[in-house]
Amino acid sequence: MPPISPKLRDNIPGRDAPLRPPEPGSVPLFIFLRLVSFVIQFHLLVWNGSYLSNALTPIFGTLQPINSDRLNLHISFVLVAVLRQILLFLGYLNTNWTISASIGVCGFNFVVELINAILLTLCGSSTLFSSPFDVLAVILFGLGMLFDVVSEWQRQGFKNDTKNKGVMFTGGLFSLTMHPNYFGYTLWRGGVALLSGSAVWGLVTLAFFTNDFLTRGIPVLQKHMKEKYPDQFTKYSKETAKFFPFLY
C-alpha cells in the first residue's frame, strides 16, 4: 500500500503500515495520563474548589461559586468522556500506537479540559438549565456519545466476523454518515464546552473540531480507505453523507 501523502497530517501513528503490537508502555501510559488528567480536574473543581477561583480572582475580580448542579454534571461528563476513551482504546486499538502519541493525545485532552474548567469557574455560577444552551449541552453530549461509542462497537463487531474480511462496513450508524465517530466526538466535545456556561466557547469548540475533522482527519482516513477498498469506497462515498448525517 502506498504511504499516506506527507501533505496530509495524520494523528494516528502508522495507519498505513503493517499492524504490530503497540510500543511497550504506550498503552499503560495513555491510561495513566487520562486518569491523572481527571484527578487533577476533580481536585481543582471539587476537592479544592477555591483553587481556580483564587487563582483567577486577581485577574477577573471576585467570582461567584460554581452552581453545584452544573459542577456535578460537568464532572460526570468528563468522567464519562475519560472512561469512553480508555475503554475504546483498550477494546478497539488496532493501530501502531506509540508513547509519543499517548503523550500528544493526552496532553491535548488536558489542555481542552483545563480551558473548560477555567471557563466553568468564570461563568458557571448560573442555575443549571436556566439557559437553553444547558439543554443543548446535554443533548449534544448524549447524542455525541451515542454516535461515537455505538458506531465503534458496530464497526468492531463487523470486523471481528471473519466472513467480512476485505469488506468495508457501511451499515448501522455508518449508513447515516461516513464518519459517525468523528461526528459524535465533535458533538460531545461541544456539549461539555457549552456546559461551562460560555456559549461562545461551546460554539468555538464545535467549529474547531468540525474544521479539524473536515480538513485533516477525514481526508487522511478517506485516502486510506480508498486505497484499501477502492471500488467499495467509491460507491459508499457517493451514497453517504461525509460528516453531518443526511446533509454533508
pLDDT tens track for 50-68: 788 888 888 988 888 889 9
The alpha carbon dihedral of 167, 172, 177, 181 has a sign of negative
Q: Is residue 17 over pLDDT 70?
A: no
In the predicted structure, residue 144 carries a pLDDT above the cut 60: yes
User: What's the average model confidence in pLDDT over 19-39?
Assistant: 88
pTM summary value: 0.88
pLDDT band at residue 15 under the 50/70/90 scheme: very low
Helix (H, G, I), strand (E, B) or coil at 32: helix
Contact assessment for residue 52 and residue 127, using Cβ atoms and an 8 Å cutoff: no
| Residues 22, 79: Cα–Cα separation, whole Å | 25
Residue with cell 446535554: 138
Whether 150 and 217 have beta carbons less than 8 Å apart is answered as no
pLDDT confidence band for 95 (50 / 70 / 90): low
